[in-house]
Amino acid sequence: MKVALAVILTAVAVLLAALLDLLKDEVRGQLERIPYGLLRLASRRVPPELREALHDREWLPELHHILAESERLPITCLIRGTRYALGLVRAARFVARELAPVRGPLPGETAHGGVRTCAKLAVGALAAAVSFVAGFGVFGAFGGAVVSLTGGLVVVVVVFDVTHDLRELGREREPTPWA
């Protein structure tokens, strides 16, 4: 009986220790995410066309440097990272307003990207409609063939271009290449 109790108590102790370890890792993981979360919040206060220039190319590398420098001191790391990110949450709008004329939008990033994509879709739909009508011989045999082919080509180009645009607009943040 005593042996069974000892075995059970040992098992419970091991289980509790493992659970505590997991809990510790979980808490540590969540705490480490705080500065990054705050920095993302700061980037939301910036116009979309400046987010890459400010968040991805300046603030995030700097935060990475700050955290790496105090890697062995988790609390210092958390405090420094959080202070850095919090300051930027406060200053993000001002920084963006000052830098908008200097750094401007990066290639492929425009505030009206969605509108432009819709316009391309409209052109594609029009080309598809013209091609469809041409199939009924409205433009004659030769004219119909030429219009159909041209319309089809336009549709293919538009589909290709819009697919690229949509990927850009809704792209997930790429995994950090240095990690």
Partner 1 sequence: MHGEPRITTALAKVLRAFLDDPSVPRYGFDLMRGTRLPSGTLYPILARLERMGWVVSQNEDVDPVVEGRPARRFYRLTEHGLRQGAHELMALSDALRPPATVPAALSPQGGRA
Residue 40 within binding range of partner 1, rule CB under 8 A? no
Nearest in space to 174 (alpha carbons), one of 92, 29, 56: 56
Query: How many residues are given for the chain?
Result: 179
Give CA–CA dist 34/136, Å, rounded: 62
Residue 83 within binding range of partner 1, rule CB under 8 A? yes
Nearest distance from C-beta of residue 18 to partner 1, angstroms: 32
Residue 30 within binding range of partner 1, rule CB under 8 A? no
Residue 88 within binding range of partner 1, rule CB under 8 A? yes
Residue 175 within binding range of partner 1, rule CB under 8 A? no
Residue 101 within binding range of partner 1, rule CB under 8 A? yes
What Cα–Cα distance (Å) separates residue 44 from each residue in 30, 107, 113, 144? 21, 20, 17, 51
Q: What is the DSSP letter of 46?
A: S
Beta carbon nearer to partner 1, 26 or 98: 98
Site track for partner 1 across 56-75, x = CB under 8 A: -xx-xxx-xxx-x-------
Nearest distance from C-beta of residue 27 to partner 1, angstroms: 26
What Cα–Cα distance (Å) separates residue 163 from each residue in 117, 118, 153, 167, 169? 9, 12, 15, 6, 10
Residues within window 102-121 making contact with partner 1, judged by CB under 8 A: 102
